[in-house]
């Protein structure tokens, strides 16, 4: 049984609390938040009685957990993660890794220096249909173009409505991270634009488009809006990929299809339909990320979202913002 210390008792912190409390291999040994009433309410809601407190360093020393789950705001991640890692405690953290690339690089360095695992929970990687779509893409040859469309109109209220780049900073990392998984390679540069339509209820740029160049010379196109009324996409985006042997599509829900060329005659070459393979008994979302984190702790294997890999997805976010601000193509090496 692995003993966890949660940091953060907001909405997502409570979601993680339920996830840890229901998992057969974990228990909540400690829970920290700046608000003691929030902590007490969270524990009562979930029905757990861990050690609680508002002083994270003191609670970390008192509880001595097997791992920390960081569910704090992005600007706090750096302090929580570095303190835990330097105390010799592995960390499973919420996305995004950090509020800046400088902070993210320091967190990766702390993982290296401590020799302890730091994994970011990119929960949307644990989607059975996404896994099936990746399998289709692997069958269509050398990928030359990948498209993702994201159009939703959520009225969150609160901090998102005040952010300078709410779509790119808060949400697009999920799509960018998925694109890296789907393409099976990293991206080297981007040209991007951000804007805010006149009808937007957000103060910052709520819409964006970006053209990433892949390591193999292919292109990933992203188009998105967080103020889209009607005809909305899935939270997972709508996807289309084309490679040297065929194409594949995923509507972000259960609609999956693929075709590969079979023959070399005629105006349009004949094709054969691919059969999507949905993995059975699949644990999705944060349940899947917790399972993989525990597997990594047990085996020493490298999980998805391990900090050295996940920082590449974060770099895509900041490269888009820089490209849009400077109106030029930006190399990901720059950020």
Residue 121 in any domain: the answer is no
- Whichever domain contains 112, its CATH number is 3.40.50.720
Q: Would you state the pLDDT for residue 281?
A: 81
Q: Residue 189 has what pLDDT?
A: 98
Domain that holds residue 198: 127-282+315-334
| Residue 299 counted as domain residue | no
pLDDT at 159: 83
Burial class of residue 22 in the structure, from the number of CB atoms within 10 Å of its CB (0-12 exposed, 13-18 middle, 19+ buried): exposed
Residue where a domain stops, chosen among 116, 146, 163:
116
pLDDT of the residue at 158? 84
Contact 80, 68 (CB under 8 A): yes
Q: Which of 320, 286, 319, 322 is nearest to 305 (CA)?
A: 286
Considering the domain architecture, whether residues 99 and 152 belong to the same structural domain is answered as no
Token pair belonging to 30: 């400690």
Dist CA 169 CA 165 (whole Å): 6
Same domain as 199, residue 319: yes
Percent of the chain with pLDDT over 90: 93
With b meaning 16 or more CB within 10 Å and e meaning fewer, what string describes 275-302? ebeeeeeeebebebbbebbbebbeeeee
Contacts made by residues 257-266, CB under 8 angstroms, sequence distance 24+: 257/136, 258/136, 258/137, 258/139, 258/140, 260/139, 260/140, 260/141
The pLDDT of residue 146 is: 98
Kindly state whether residue 300 falls inside one of the protein's structural domains: no
- Residue 71 near residue 46 (C-beta atoms within 8 A): no
**Chunked mean pLDDT (size 10), the chain, 335 residues:** 97 96 98 96 97 97 98 94 98 95 97 98 94 97 98 92 91 96 96 97 97 97 97 97 98 96 92 94 92 98 97 97 98 95
β-pair type (67-70, 2-7): parallel
pTM of the complete model: 0.93
Tell me, letter by letter, the H, E, C secondary structure of 99-110.
CCHHHHHHHHHH
């Amino acid at each position: 049984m692995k003993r966890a210390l949660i940091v953060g008792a907001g909405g997502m912190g409570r979601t993680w609390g339920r996830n840890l409390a229901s998992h057969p291999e974990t228990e909540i040994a400690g829970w920290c938040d700046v608000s003691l009433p929030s902590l007490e309410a969270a524990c009562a809601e979930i029905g757990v009685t861990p050690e609680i407190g508002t002083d994270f360093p003191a609670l970390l020393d008192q509880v001595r957990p097997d791992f920390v789950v960081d569910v704090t705001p992005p600007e706090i991640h750096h302090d929580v993660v570095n303190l835990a890692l330097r105390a010799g405690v592995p960390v499973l953290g919420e996305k995004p890794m950090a509020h800046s690339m400088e902070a993210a690089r320091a967190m990766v360095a702390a993982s290296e220096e401590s020799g302890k695992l730091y994994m970011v929970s990119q929960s949307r990687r644990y989607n059975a249909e996404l896994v099936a779509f990746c399998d289709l893409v692997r069958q269509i040859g050398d990928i030359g173009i990948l498209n993702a469309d994201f159009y939703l109109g959520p009225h969150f209220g609160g901090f998102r409505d005040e952010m300078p780049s709410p779509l790119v900073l808060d949400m697009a990392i999920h799509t960018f991270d998925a694109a890296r998984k789907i393409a099976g390679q990293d991206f080297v540069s981007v040209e991007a634009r951000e804007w805010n339509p006149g009808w937007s209820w957000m103060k910052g740029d709520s819409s964006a488009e970006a053209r990433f160049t892949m390591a193999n010379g292919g292109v990933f196109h992203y188009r998105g809006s967080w103020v889209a009324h009607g005809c909305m996409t899935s939270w997972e985006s709508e996807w289309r990929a084309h490679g040297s042997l065929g194409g594949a599509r995923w509507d972000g829900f259960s609609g999956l299809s693929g075709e590969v060329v079979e023959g070399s005659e005629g105006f349009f070459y004949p094709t054969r339909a691919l059969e999507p393979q949905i993995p059975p008994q699949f644990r999705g979302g944060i349940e899947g990320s917790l399972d993989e984190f525990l597997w990594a702790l047990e085996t020493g294997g490298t999980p998805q979202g391990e900090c050295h890999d996940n920082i590449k997805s974060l770099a895509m976010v900041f490269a888009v913002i820089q490209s849009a601000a400077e109106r030029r193509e930006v190399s990901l090496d720059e950020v």
